[in-house]
Chains A and B, each alone.
Chain A
Amino acid sequence: MPIPDPDPNIAARQRWMAVLARAAATQIEALLEAVPPLPDCVVLRGPEAGLVMLRGRAGGAGTRFNMGEMTVTRCTVRSTGGQVGHAYVSGRDGRQAELAARLDAALQDPARHDAIQAAVIAPLAEAQAAARAETTRKAAATRVQFFTMATMRS
C-alpha cells in the first residue's frame, strides 16, 4: 500500500485508487451494473499509455537505482458534479484507466461515495485480499518444517 496520507480524505482516496489500479476493466464493469449510472464526464486527458521507471535500492536499502520501466496508462476526467478524477494504472488498458478515473471522480462526490464504495470498491478489495491470502497459504504449505533427529549419545 502507498504511504498513507495524514489527511483521512486523501488516505481513503489512496485506498480506492490502489484497488482500482489492480482491478481488470471487466471486473469493474460487472460491478458497476449494481449501481446507478456514473455521472457524465468530460475527459480532460487520455486515456494515454506511457512509462514509469521503477527503482530499487542497492543492497535492498541503499542508494537508489533505476531498475527498468513499466507500462502505465493514465486518464483524467471531470464529472458534471465538478469532481476531477485521476487514474494511473499499470499496463495498457485504456478502458480500465478511464473507468478508474470516472470512479475516482464519483467517489469524491459525497452523494455517490457510499453506494460505490460498497458495491464496487469493497468487493474488488475483498477479491484482491482473497487472492493475496491464497498465495500466502500456498507459500505457507511450502515452508520447510525442520525437525531435529535426536542423538543417542550417552
Chain B
Amino acid sequence: MAYVAVKGGERAIDNAHAWLAEARRGDTAVPELTTAQIAAQLGRAVDRVMAEGSLYDPALAALALKQAQGDVIEAAFLLRAYRTTLPRFGYAAPLDTAAMLVRRRVSAIYKDMPGGQILGPTYDYTHRLLDFALEAGFSPPSAPEMPADGAEIPPVNAILAQEGLVEGDATTDAEPGDLTRTPLAFPAGRDVRLQTLARGDEGFLLALGYSTQRGWGGSHPFVGEIRVGEAAVAITPPELGFEIDIGDVAVTECQMVNQFKGSKTAPPQFTRGYGLVFGHAERKAMAMALVDRAMRAEELGEEVTAPAQNIEFVLYHADNIEATGFVEHLKLPHYVDFQSELETVRRMRAEAVAVKEAAE
C-alpha cells in the first residue's frame, strides 16, 4: 500500500470553488458590495490589509477584502502574492513624518505643547454602544471646522530632546536590510526588526506589547506621541536626477518613551520605542513601539528574560502570512507521512507485545 490517490480531486476542487464564489456573494436579494464602498466605508480593515500585506494600495486592499470575504489575513496574503507580479522601480526617500498633514496628534506626556492635542477622527471617548442609527442608514452632517493657525506641529521628541533627557536617534548611511530581498538572518539590526514589525500581525504584536506591560520585560512606557495623517512620498528617478512627489501615504506613527536606569555607558535617561504603520492604525503602531523597545533590551544592557525581548522569537513569529502558511498546511494531504507513522506505531506495539509475551 505505497500508493495514495493523486487524482480525482479536480472536480471536487472546482465545485468547492464554485460554491465559495456563491457563498462569497451571499443572498442575491441583497445588493452586491462594491470595492469603492469597501475602500470608503471599511477603511480600518483596508488599512490593516495594506499594513500586513506590506503594500500600500487602498483599491487593491478593498478588492482583496471582498475576495477574501473580509478575512484580513487571507486578504493580506493576496496582496503579498500580487506584489510579486510587479517590478520594483526604486526606493522612496524616508517619509518626513514631522511634516505630515496631521489628522490626529496626541501626547500622554505633555498637556500643552506646540501644535496642541488634536483628537482627530477617533474612537477614543466613544461609549462603545452599538449605534442602531447606522443599521437604518445614516448620513452624518459635515464635521465641524475651526480656523487653523497654520503653525507647525513639531514632533514631541524634539521637546524632550531639548532637555537632553532622552536618547537621540542614531543614524548610519548603511543601506537598510530588505526582507523582500534577503531572508531574515540573525543578529537582526533595528532596520530589519522595524520592517518585520511594520508588516507583522497586529494581534501578535498587541499580545506581546501587552505582555511587556504585565511584567514580561516591562519598560514602563508612556505615549510620547501618536500622530496620524498623510505623508508625502518622494523618489528620485535616475532619468530625472531630481526629487519628485508621487503622492501621499496615510500612516500612523507612535513614539513610546520608556524609563531607563542607565548602564555603564549611558546615563539614566528616557529611551524610546518606535512604531510606523500604513493607514490609521494606532493600536498596531503602539504595539509595534512597545515591542521595538522590548527588543532593544540587550542593546541597552537589560536582562533578556521575556518573550517580547527575544528578537528571534518575535521576528520568526510576527508574520501572519508565514504563520498561516505553516499552520494551515497541516490540513493538506499528509497521507504518506501518516501511513509511515501508523506503521511505526503498529510495529512498536507488536514489539512491546512480543517482549511482554517472552517475559511471561
In the assembled complex, the CB of A52 is this many whole angstroms from the nearest CB of chain B, namely 5
Interface residues of B in 177-234 (CB under 8 A from A): 177-180, 189-192, 194-195, 198-199, 232-234
Supposing A55-B94, A92-B57 touch, asked if A66 and B247 sit within 8 A by C-beta, the answer is: no
> Given the complex of chains A and B, what is the CA–CA distance between A109 and B284 in angstroms?
48
Chain A: interface secondary structure?
mixed
**Interface residues on chain B, number (Cβ under 8 Å):** 84
Q: Which of B8-16, B166-174, B350-358 contacts A (4 or more CB under 8 A)?
A: B166-174
> Given the complex of chains A and B, what is the CA–CA distance between A68 and B55 in angstroms?
6
Contact (Cβ within 8 A) B243 A67: no
Is A113's CB within 8 Å of the partner chain B? no
Interface residues of A in 1-23 (CB under 8 A from B): 1-3, 5, 10, 14, 17-18, 21-22
Name the interface size band of chain A: 35 or more
In the assembled complex, the CB of A44 is this many whole angstroms from the nearest CB of chain B, namely 10
Contact (Cβ within 8 A) A141 B145: yes
> Given the complex of chains A and B, what is the CA–CA distance between A74 and B92 in angstroms?
14
Supposing A68-B199, A139-B102 touch, asked if A57 and B237 sit within 8 A by C-beta, the answer is: no
> Given the complex of chains A and B, what is the CA–CA distance between A63 and B54 in angstroms?
20
Q: Chain A residues with Cβ under 8 A from B59's Cβ?
A: 91-92
Is A69's CB within 8 Å of the partner chain B? yes
Known: A55-B95, A70-B92. 19 other contacts (CB 8 A): A17-B245, A18-B232, A18-B245, A51-B86, A52-B90, A56-B95, A59-B272, A60-B157, A68-B195, A68-B198, A70-B55, A71-B55, A76-B239, A88-B237, A92-B57, A137-B147, A139-B102, A139-B120, A146-B112
Contact (Cβ within 8 A) A54 B95: yes
Q: Chain B residues with Cβ under 8 A from A91's Cβ?
A: 57, 59, 247
Interface residues of A in 96-154 (CB under 8 A from B): 132-144, 146
